Structure 1
Amino acid sequence: MTPIEIRKYLQERKLATLHDIALHFRMTTEAISPMLELWIHKGKVKKHLSSLGCFKGCCKCDPATIETYEWLS
């Protein structure tokens, strides 16, 4: 899996959680994050963090399910 493949995936979806991206490529979130950071650094991807999670306030949500990435261009 390459950063180009992540680019194509995000261009098609426009918005995806870290968890969804990792599942799609059958990789860990730790392996996907550096490639997403490359696109963030280039200004092509924006990272959205939701501190609210699922809005229940229990703080049990997996951070990868509420960390969202958006393709910008």
Structure 2
Amino acid sequence: MTLTDLKGFLTERNRVSVGEIAGHFNTDKGTVESMLDHWVRKGKVEKKAGDAFSSNCCGKCGGHHVTWYRWIDD
């Protein structure tokens, strides 16, 4: 997985967790977090805890205990 791959994955989805990214790319969560931190520092990714991006959480994923990431459109 490259930073460009990660950007593409984030732009295709409204919000994602580290676990979703790690599973999709078959990589460890630490690597994913490091790469996400790069985009957060650049101001391209927003990081929120819990259900911060949606008011209609289904609750199946335990969304209130997950950190979510989303790409910020230019």
Per the shorter chain, which TM-score range? 0.7 to 0.9
| Alignment partners' CA distance in 2, 1:40 and 1:12 | 17
Residue matched to 1:68: 68
Q: Identity of counterpart residues, as a percentage?
A: 30
CA deviation digits over 1:15-58, x for unaligned, max 9?
A: 1111101100001111111110110011110111129x838xxx
Residue matched to 2:22: 22
- Which TM-score applies when normalising by structure 2? 0.75
Higher RCO, 1 vs 2 (CA within 8 Å, ≥6 residues apart): 1
Q: RMSD of the alignment, in Å?
A: 2.3
| Alignment partners' CA distance in 1, 2:62 and 2:8 | 28
| Alignment partners' CA distance in 1, 2:14 and 2:6 | 11
- Which TM-score applies when normalising by structure 1? 0.76
Residue matched to 2:33: 33
Deviation beyond 3 Å, 4+ runs, structure 1: none
Unaligned stretches of 5+ in structure 1?
Answer: 56-60
